[in-house]
Amino acid sequence: MPPPESATSASSNRSADWIAGDDDDYAFARTVAGIWDGRWVILGIVVVALAGAVVYLHQASKVYQAQSEILASPLPATASVQGLGLILQSADPLRDVQTASEFVTTPSVAQRVISSLRLHESPQALLGQVSIAPIAESDIVDIAVDAGSPGAAQRLANAFAVQTLNDRTAALDSELSTVIPRLKAEIAAVPAGNPGTRASLSGQLAELETLDSGPTPDLRVAGLAQAPTSPISPRKAFTLAAALVGGLVVGIGLVFLIQLLDPRLRREEELADRFRLPILARVPREHRKRRFRRKTPMLPGAISPQAADAYRTLRTALSSSRRRTTHGHVILVTGSTPSEGKTTTAINLASALAASDAQVMLIEADLRRPTIGKALDIETSESIHSVLHEEVLFGQFRLGDALVDTALSAVPESRHVRLLLASRDGVSAQPLSSAKMRSILAAAREISDWVVVDGPPLLYAPDLLGACDQIDDVILVARLGTTGFDDLLQTAELLAQHAIVPAGFVVVGSSGRAQYY
């Protein structure tokens, strides 16, 4: 009797309409979701950054800044003041105030400050605490001095302003002490018959003597410093804000780097955004006992009540979509990579189907890594390969001789599940040809209501897809935190190439939001 029309063969077009495109909206949504998934990493880095900022603020020395001002008053460029080193009027106002700024930061001014305040540091070190800001529009030179206390900053700023004037006055007096005697000698040497020259020189002498009797006329203190009320360093608000922003930037960058290097499936919503397939069941994250290794499938008696409910939900979903036919229904349970929970899903699905009083056969088609027999502690001399070997030798396909009955279901009155295991002696490592697998599935559906095929990861063993005409439903198992998203996309493309539209996903590792009823 020919096999019934299957879901895979009924799809005549090979378009992958169930695979959504990677558009900008999806990329943005996945980026936002990735940031949300890594929120604890980001929060941890932000907390560390803020803690470091707090430690820095606690240990860093406080720096206070006080500011005093001097005013530059350029003099007319007359003959009497030429060559005295005074600030003379020019066409460039900025030049005058820059000249005044240079008078402040000289070693002689720094030495006068050290002497007046009785400090114990070098002039070079003291000048490192001073910054000058000339303001051309007002001819004012701003003297900013940093110190470890408000009082010290105020004293230093005022001392630099005052000692700059004293230093300039002393330099002017030194020049005048040379110029005035020389000018007096010139006046004395002027002949009596030249009164105009004598009068001109006498006028210069009077002007110089006036300069000699007072402070330097080109500079004066415009404003004395006040004691600062708060330090300029460290700045608490700025430091904390910088730590917060830096922590966010580093945290988000680290999350992106982790996702780039490890693009695993993190959230169930990623499946809904990229694939137009239903979620058939959500299996909660199971906490295994230490005696169970992760690679060992979990049997019906070892799973939680929530997980058992999930597999019964999967049974209901498959039963409601099953076509009414006289032949059995073949379900392929597969995925993209190892350790996703495919074998556990196949075993527990078979158990749930058997609990509904159906004839169920479980075929172990993952020939490279057979684990069902070991998990159930079943040793058998018959396997898939041995059945096919007998057909070749004797011309008879004796599937029933290789089946093993076992009570998988936790319900005592449930039917037994018939198992067709793969050999664990290495014979089954070679994959079966598509023709042989079709023969096995065709024979299995004749004697069963349901045939559950525990398939290998399709990316590693795509040979099973050659028998897709004997497969009615394909279930993709995806484990959150384990399944690689790129691998899942490649698996979807592989199925689309064979015109296969999966029945849906079984998501393993769900958070289990609902309590067990």
How would you classify the pairing of strands 417-420 and 279-284? unpaired
Phi, psi of 88 (to 5 degrees): -105, 150
In this predicted model, which residue has the larger pLDDT, 33 or 270? 270
pLDDT band with cut points at 50, 70 and 90 for residue 17: confident
Mean pLDDT score, 387-393 = 52
Q: At what angle do helices 236-261 and 24-37 cross, to 10 degrees?
A: 120
Distance CA 335, CA 320 (A): 23
Residue 331 has pLDDT above 60, yes or no: yes
Give the pLDDT confidence score for residue 424 in this predicted structure: 66
Instruction: Kindly report the three-state secondary structure assignment for every residue of 177-192.
Output: HHHHHHHHHHHHCCCC
Give the pLDDT confidence score for residue 207 in this predicted structure: 81
- Which pLDDT tens digit goes with each residue over 152-192? 999 999 999 999 999 988 988 888 888 888 888 888 887 87
Average pLDDT in the chain: 82
Q: Residue written as tokens 């560390």?
A: 48
Residue 480 falls in which region: left (phi positive, over 0), alpha (psi -120 to 50) or beta: beta
- The domain segmentation of the chain, as residue ranges, is 7-17+275-287+298-510, 20-60+234-264, 62-223
Neighbour-count burial for 51-77, b at 16+ CB within 10 Å, e otherwise: eebeeeeeeeeebbbbbbbbbbbbbee
Locate 51 and state its tokens. Answer: 């803690």
Distance CA 429, CA 425 (A): 9
Give the pLDDT confidence score for residue 1 in this predicted structure: 36
pLDDT band with cut points at 50, 70 and 90 for residue 8: very low
Which whole-number Å values give the CA distances from 209 to 51, 110, 166, 189, in the listed order? 66, 29, 18, 19
What is the CATH T-level fold of the domain 62-223, as seen in this structure? Answer: Bacterial polysaccharide co-polymerase-like (3.30.1890)
Question: Which CATH superfamily is 7-17+275-287+298-510 part of?
Answer: P-loop containing nucleotide triphosphate hydrolases (3.40.50.300)
- Which pLDDT tens digit goes with each residue over 20-72? 766 556 667 667 777 887 889 999 999 999 999 999 988 888 999 999 999 98
Residue 517 has pLDDT above 60, yes or no: no
CB atoms within 10 A of CB 239: 18
Bond from prior residue into 234 cis (ω within 30 degrees of 0): yes
Phi, psi of 143 (to 5 degrees): -105, 110
- Which pLDDT tens digit goes with each residue over 460-490? 888 888 888 889 999 999 998 888 888 999 9
Distance CA 400, CA 446 (A): 11
Residue 514 has pLDDT above 60, yes or no: no
H or E stretch covering 308: helix 305-321
Give the pLDDT confidence score for residue 13 in this predicted structure: 43
Distance CA 456, CA 462 (A): 8
Mean pLDDT score, 370-378 = 85
Distance CA 198, CA 183 (A): 11
